[in-house]
Chain A
């Protein structure tokens, strides 16, 4: 029975890693569409690189990487690592900047589409 548990464990582990690897590979090679991921989609400067999107991307990847490292280190303790209380504020702030930029482009910037 222990052998079966080990096999299932490896199956799920390999599946999750292979799926994450496949998605990452397809994102990096362009098979998953990333067109205009970092571009403004509204307003007069539509199509330009958007700093608020770039900062959100950096914050997201940084937070994700840090959390996986924490989880790997804390796995034996039997619980998911708690994130520092400043994190929701940082991620909330980052998302707020992103939404603020989007709202500004929508409601205040000159739109060439109107």
Chain B
């Protein structure tokens, strides 16, 4: 009977061992191939990195590694000293107060780096069959390549930002009912950023 329990314990232990290793490997693998995205690990909703989050991250790793070092050496879960808990409390409280101050100001919920891409002109009237040159600036990465697209409406735009309005409609549209086109510019430097320009066809 004892022998049977020993075998059962060994099999259970081996399975658990495989599971722990498998989960650990899977998590690391998914991070490396990009399926688990850590890019916003210490970011705020505004896109800026947060010092308080960074501090919490560092302390979490420090306590986890220290705890593991002690557990490995003694095979017992140690008591966590009060001063260490105090440090963690200071860090956590600081994070809360910091976010309270920041989000009490509307400026705190927008990125400090401003708009990532700006199109010019943002609004313009263009005659049917005419051309209009648009330009885009990427203030936080000057010279970054941009992509142009006619998001809605008629006309075409090339990758230099030159918009060509469509030929006049036939029959002409009644006065005051001009068509519109919306142009979008994006950049690979900031994948989430875009700006729009509105063209009124006259």
Classify the secondary structure of A's interface with B: helix
CB of A100, distance to nearest CB on chain B (Å): 10
| List of A residues within 8 angstroms of B9 by Cβ | 1
Q: Are A78's CB and B102's CB within 8 A?
A: no
Q: List the A residue with the shortest CB-CB distance to B94.
A: A95
The size of the chain B interface, using a CB distance under 8 A, is: 69
Task: Kindly count the residue-residue contacts between A and B in the assembled complex, taking CB atoms under 8 Å apart.
Answer: 199
Q: Are B47's CB and A35's CB within 8 A?
A: yes
CB of B31, distance to nearest CB on chain A (Å): 6
Flag B111-148 by CB within 8 Å of A: 1 or 0 each: 11110000000000000000000000000000000000
CB < 8 Å: which of A31, A37, A88 contacts B86?
A: A88
CB of A60, distance to nearest CB on chain B (Å): 5
- List B16-34 residues whose CB lies under 8 Å from chain A: 16-17, 20-21, 24, 27-28, 31-32
Q: Are B47's CB and A16's CB within 8 A?
A: no
| List of B residues within 8 angstroms of A20 by Cβ | 61, 65
| List of A residues within 8 angstroms of B14 by Cβ | 4
- Complex CA distance for A98 and B50, rounded to whole angstroms: 12
- List A71-93 residues whose CB lies under 8 Å from chain B: 71-72, 74-76, 78-85, 87-88, 91-92
Q: Are A15's CB and B10's CB within 8 A?
A: no
- Given A19-B28, A67-B66 in contact, is the A11-B90 Cβ separation under 8 Å? no
Q: Are B111's CB and A12's CB within 8 A?
A: no
CB of B148, distance to nearest CB on chain A (Å): 25
Q: List the B residue with the shortest CB-CB distance to A17.
A: B65
- Complex CA distance for A4 and B13, rounded to whole angstroms: 7
CB of A62, distance to nearest CB on chain B (Å): 11
- Complex CA distance for A61 and B76, rounded to whole angstroms: 28
- Complex CA distance for A46 and B112, rounded to whole angstroms: 6
- Complex CA distance for A18 and B1, rounded to whole angstroms: 42
Flag B78-101 by CB within 8 Å of A: 1 or 0 each: 111101101100110110011001
- Complex CA distance for A42 and B18, rounded to whole angstroms: 50
- Complex CA distance for A113 and B106, rounded to whole angstroms: 8
Q: Are A75's CB and B81's CB within 8 A?
A: no
Q: Are B58's CB and A36's CB within 8 A?
A: no
- Given A35-B49, A106-B102 in contact, is the A99-B20 Cβ separation under 8 Å? no
Flag B56-81 by CB within 8 Å of A: 1 or 0 each: 01110110111111101110101111
- Complex CA distance for A4 and B15, rounded to whole angstroms: 10
Stretch at the interface among B38-46, B169-177, B193-201: B38-46
- Complex CA distance for A32 and B73, rounded to whole angstroms: 33
Q: List the B residue with the shortest CB-CB distance to A61.
A: B58
Question: Would you give 16 A-B contacts (Cβ < 8 Å), ordered by A?
Answer: A1-B10, A7-B17, A8-B17, A8-B20, A23-B41, A31-B39, A36-B48, A41-B112, A57-B51, A60-B55, A64-B61, A80-B70, A80-B79, A102-B102, A113-B110, A114-B107
